[in-house]
Structures are given as C-alpha cells and as structure tokens.
Chain A
Amino acid sequence: MKPVIKMILIIFLLGISSTLAQSSEVKVRVDGLSCPFCAYGLEKKLNDLDGVESINIDFEEGLVVLQVTNSENISEEEIRTKIEKAGFTPREIVFSGKNEKPDKDD
C-alpha cells in the first residue's frame, strides 16, 4: 500500500475513533411528561444545547435520553434550566459514556 493511502486511512480511522470516544448519553428524569402534544417544546429547548445529536422521550418512565457529541460541553445546570423553561420539572441527571458523572437527586 502506498504511504499516502496509508496515511489517509490512519487519519480516517483516528477521526472515527475520536468521534466514537466523545459521543455519549445523558439520561434525564423529567416529571410532568404526561402528554405527547406538550413535549414538542421540551424537544426544541433541549435541541438548543450544544452537541445534542438526538433526543428520545419515554413517557412511561418519564425519561429523556440525549445523545450528545461531547457531554463535557453541557452542564447539568444548563439541562435543568432548559427543562424548566419548557414547563417541566427536572429530576435526576445521569451522564454516561466517557464522561460519566454520578446520579443526582433534587
């Protein structure tokens, strides 16, 4: 294999591994989530946070799961503020993946 192609391949693999290492999940317990029609505002507010890739809402568990590129860029306080501004009550927030943080109760 030519050295140039090897170099490109190495850079590509490093890029992928770096991205995978930084991607992580934030689980947020949200109280007051009782109807899908009212969750749109919550999705919009959380999407404003830096690095949010996707949002999954589980109504039965009252759980919002954020996939983020790097959870170090998001603070717990920011998440709580966004949820309150959307009209709901934030509870425990758990950072998982590379940047795991301990559970916290209100």
Chain B
Amino acid sequence: MLINFKLVSISLLLFVSINLYAQGPPIFTDSPLLLGLEGGGIRTFGKYISTESGQTYIQPLVVPYNVTTDFQIGGIQPYVFRSPNNDESQSGFGNFTLFGKYSIIQIDGRAKTFRALLKYTQTFTTGASNVSVNANASQFSIITGYVTINYGIYGTVGYTFVSSDLPDNLIYSFAFGYPLLPQKYPPFQLNLFLELNGTHTLEVNKHLLFVSPGLQLMTSSTFLIETGVQIPVVDDRNTTKFAYTLGIRFLFF
C-alpha cells in the first residue's frame, strides 16, 4: 500500500495539537479531577517540538470554567511558530478548540479518590492556514484516575474523528505521579511524573508513542509551574525527535 506521507504527517500534528492541551496534574495526560488548578483557572505553556522537517513552538492559552461540580467547559487558543528546515519561518493563531468534561464516577475515601469523566473536544478550522491543519476534529475520550496522597494513577482512551479525508486517530495515555514532598495545605509540592502518550493513526496504520517524564512545582494553592520532555519510543514515521514543554497554571478567581 502506498503511504500518503503528507496525510500521516498532518494527522500526527493534529494529534499533538489536541493532546498537548491535556496539561494539568499530570502534565501530559488529562486529569479526571475538575478541582483547583484544573478548573476555574488559566493555563499557558510553551511546547517546542523538534522533527526531521523542522521545529514548531506552540503557546496555547487554556481557560476552563466549572459550570457545576460535575461539568466543565473550556476554550483553547494556541499561537503557533513554525520553522521548516527548507522554508521561511511562519507564525499565527492556530485552530480554536472547545471542550466539555462531565464527571460520571466519583468514589471518595479517606485521603483517596477514584474518578472518571467523559470529555468531548471540538477543534475548528479557525487558524491561519500556514500554521494550522485545515480539518475539523471531534474527539471523544474517557478519563480516569485513582489519586491518593501517596501517588496518582491516570489513564485516558479516546477516538478522534477527523474531517477532510484525513485518517482518524485512536489515542491513549497513562500517567503515574509521585509527590516528592509531604502533602500539606497550603501546598508546597514537588511532583514527579512518568507518562506514556500514544496515538494510532487508522487507515495508514501508523503508531506514535511518547515516554514523557516531568516535574511539577506548586508554590501555593494558586500557582504551579511544570516541565516535561516527550521522547518518542515508537514512531513509525521516524519524524519526531522530541517535544519539550514548560508551563504555568494559576487561579485568579
């Protein structure tokens, strides 16, 4: 079968665009807790992606809003800088994304909780054509997590429908978080994360899997800074060298 490399490349970029917004505790994998810095705050982070064809830097602004305890909506607007190897650099606003999360399971115990939620993400083709994928994308996912004061385990599986004759994606993520300092409130925390973030592009049957170690520092109940690197361990296209992220989140209401 003749592989359409352009389609695969665009599809992988779309995957990265959608999944890097899943930043929170943990860093690259979504969290089922709609609380604190995961809801009602503002997030921004810079993501530098190095590939065989060039470099990309993405700076999104993420604004979630908790409508109720169980229901969150939000919007994501990225700004994208692209620097292809054999072309001029380009920049502009990327595609706008709306998302909604609805909590379906909450089982609380002393110093622990298990939660699950459904997430719907819709990406629109609002971005500049030179830095954005010209395709709408709808993603459905289920996000789970078991969090105790000693560790946190998180998982996500989802499916992305992509328009414009591009292949759909299956996505999955797994994260393990470990606090390096005692849990207290107001917090001063240093958290260590090890995550796996993967996607399988259907039709062309290509797989991409990152191993993503990261560190997270909370200096107060309203401010968090985090960093992580994503190293491809499975990359059927052999294009992605690595991705580096540095981000902050803060609450102001």
Contacts and interface: CB of A to CB of B under 8 A. Distances in A.
- Are A and B subunits of one complex? yes
Interface residues of A, number: 24
Interface string A48-74: 000000000101111000000000000
B80 interface: no
A37 B25 contact: yes
B106 A32 contact: yes
Interface of A: 29, 31-41, 43, 57, 59-62, 84-89
B218 interface: yes
A84 B37 CA distance: 18
A10 to B, nearest CB: 40
Contacts of A88: 108
Contacts, number: 90
Contacts of A84: 69
The 9 closest A-B pairs by CB, nearest first: A32-B108, A36-B187, A38-B35, A31-B108, A89-B108, A57-B185, A38-B36, A62-B110, A32-B113
B38 interface: yes
B224 A37 contact: yes
Interface in B13-51: 25, 33-40
Interface of B: 25, 33-40, 69, 106, 108-113, 147-149, 152, 183-187, 189, 218, 221-222, 224, 251
Contacts of A43: 185, 221
A34 B107 CA distance: 12
Contact of B221 (A29, A33, A36): A36
Contact of A34 (B147, B187, B251): B147
A34 B113 contact: yes
Contacts of B149: 34-35, 59-60
